[in-house]
């Protein structure tokens, strides 16, 4: 994107002390860890990367060099207000379920959500120590994790399956029977509970944006 456009947004964020970009105080921010005992996804963290969500692996955050003092606040995926990524970038980043059923997030500086997507309801229920995060749109009961090849070509998928099954990763979908999943078979997916860990976090410890 154009540097000038980015710079023009900085005063806006700075001028809103009472806004969601200001310091937060136990205000609905949380991280998510999967629970499905006896499975390979148990206790894997939810990560945002490439406009989609995964279990395990690394979140993809970005901090533009042109933003003054833009320290990389976190490499974790932090959610805010039920259905948004907790970011500093003006305009924020929303979470939705795309038409294939994949849990997705909007790109920075664009609120664009493709037609056929579902915007919820998503719900964060805080707990004493652990809360939950759920999605109940389209009659779904929460989320499922589907094996996804690390390399998207069919040939490589086959090779990696044989040689290095750990190279696979888990992509997060809404738990829908008609989801279009990477292996083509929804029975390959594992439903899980999204355990939510409430965070009291200040803006200095947020990602600028997820990409
Ligand atoms: C959240 O953090 C702030 C700043 O560190 C602190 O003053 C406040 O007491 C904390 N709130 C809770 C509920 O822990
Ligand atoms: C995030 O990862 C980058 C690159 O590995 C590192 O430089 C940075 O210190 C990390 N930030 C935090 C808050 O851990
Ligand atoms: C999948 O099923 C749900 C629930 O029946 C429905 O709301 C949704 O439109 C379906 N999605 C597609 C892509 O067919
Ligand atoms: C994926 O596999 C193809 C074919 O084997 C290879 O050319 C490509 O570099 C691989 N991509 C990644 C990201 O590993």
Q: What is the pLDDT of residues 150-206, one digit of tens each?
A: 655 554 455 445 444 444 789 999 999 999 999 999 999 999 999 999 988 888 899
Average pLDDT, the chain: 83
Range of the domain at 181: 3-7+29-210
Output the residue whose Cα is nearest ligand 1's atom 12: 26
99 Cβ below 6 A of ligand 3: yes
Q: Please report whether residue 167 resides in a domain.
A: yes
What pLDDT is attached to residue 173? Answer: 98
Res 27: pLDDT: 66
Number of domains in the chain: 1
Ligand 2 centre from 71 Cα, in Å?
A: 9
CB atoms under 10 Å from CB of 44, counted, come to 21
Task: Supply φ then ψ for residue 112, to 5 degrees.
Answer: -65, 125
In a domain, 191, yes or no: yes
Q: Is residue 14 part of a domain?
A: no
Terminal Cα distance for the chain, rounded: 13
Percent of the chain with pLDDT over 90: 66
Q: Looking at the domain assignment, is residue 96 inside a domain? A: yes
Q: How far apart are CA 203 and CA 37, in angstroms?
A: 34
Give CA–CA dist 28/30, Å, rounded: 6
pLDDT in tens, 15-62: 333 333 333 335 689 999 999 999 999 999 999 999 999 999 999 999
């Amino acid at each position: 994107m154009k540097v000038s456009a980015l710079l023009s947004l900085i005063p806006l964020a700075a001028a809103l002390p009472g806004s969601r970009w200001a310091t937060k105080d136990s205000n609905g921010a949380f991280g998510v860890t999967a629970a499905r005992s006896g499975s390979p996804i148990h206790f894997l963290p939810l990560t945002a990367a490439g406009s989609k969500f995964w279990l395990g692996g690394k979140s993809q955050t970005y901090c533009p060099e042109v933003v003054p003092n833009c320290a990389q606040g976190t490499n974790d995926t932090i959610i805010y207000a039920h259905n948004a990524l907790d970011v500093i970038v003006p305009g924020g980043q929303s979470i939705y379920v795309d038409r294939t059923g994949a849990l997705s997030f909007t790109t920075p500086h664009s609120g664009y959500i493709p037609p056929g997507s579902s915007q919820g309801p998503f719900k964060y229920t805080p707990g004493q120590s652990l809360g939950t995060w759920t999605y109940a749109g389209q009659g779904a009961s929460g989320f499922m994790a589907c094996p996804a090849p690390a390399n998207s070509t069919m040939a490589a998928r086959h090779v990696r399956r044989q040689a290095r099954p750990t190279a696979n990763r888990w992509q997060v979908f809404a738990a829908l029977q008609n989801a279009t999943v990477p292996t083509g078979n929804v029975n390959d997916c594992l439903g899980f509970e999204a355990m939510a860990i409430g965070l009291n976090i200040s803006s200095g410890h947020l990602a600028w944006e997820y990409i």
